[in-house]
A = this chain, B = another copy of it.
């Protein structure tokens, strides 16, 4: 399991929310696989553990987890939103429109940009997980200029 029980329970508690069996199962489901998981798959995993949990509960729990910073959401343009347990170091995703492949990048590049926005516009960016679309090296060469 990627998340530590104490950690997330305290986080919920500190933000004035309750720790429930459903939320525990849903967070387990987010961590069950590698990388980000589409909601449908998370729901399937949760149902495997407990048939009675409703879809809306999953949606609400995930929204809450994102709100309190336990999980990051990513709309990869596939029709359904994906979720991933938040890692200590923020990262972003590059999604290739040619082959559909994805790669993860660190937050070095964006950190500088966020700083500049803060200096020039006084705006503190909180978004810590971007999904950027474009063309990967292979597809770029294949397609030509």
| Residues in B neighbouring A137, C-beta threshold 8 A | 121-123
CB distance B123 to A136 under 8 Å? yes
How far, in angstroms, from A17 to B137 measured CA to CA in the complex? 29
**Assuming A113-B112, A117-B94, A117-B105, is B140 touching A134 (CB within 8 A)?**
no
Residue from B103, B121, B124 within 8 A of A121 (CB atoms): B103
Residue from B110, B120, B127, B134 within 8 A of A123 (CB atoms): B134
Shortest distance in angstroms between A139's beta carbon and chain B's nearest beta carbon?
9
CB distance B94 to A125 under 8 Å? yes
Shortest distance in angstroms between A20's beta carbon and chain B's nearest beta carbon?
26
Interface of A is mostly: mixed
| Category for how many chain A residues contact B | 20 to 34
List CB contacts (< 8 Å) of A91-140 with chain B.
94, 96-97, 103, 105, 109-110, 112-113, 116-117, 120-127, 130, 132-137, 140
Residue from B97, B124, B130 within 8 A of A130 (CB atoms): B130
| Residues in B neighbouring A94, C-beta threshold 8 A | 117, 121, 123, 125
CB distance B124 to A133 under 8 Å? no
**Assuming A127-B132, A127-B133, A132-B127, is B122 touching A140 (CB within 8 A)?**
yes
14 sample A-B contacts, Cβ–Cβ < 8 Å, listed by A number: A94-B123, A103-B121, A109-B113, A110-B113, A112-B113, A113-B113, A117-B132, A123-B137, A124-B135, A124-B140, A125-B133, A126-B133, A126-B135, A127-B134
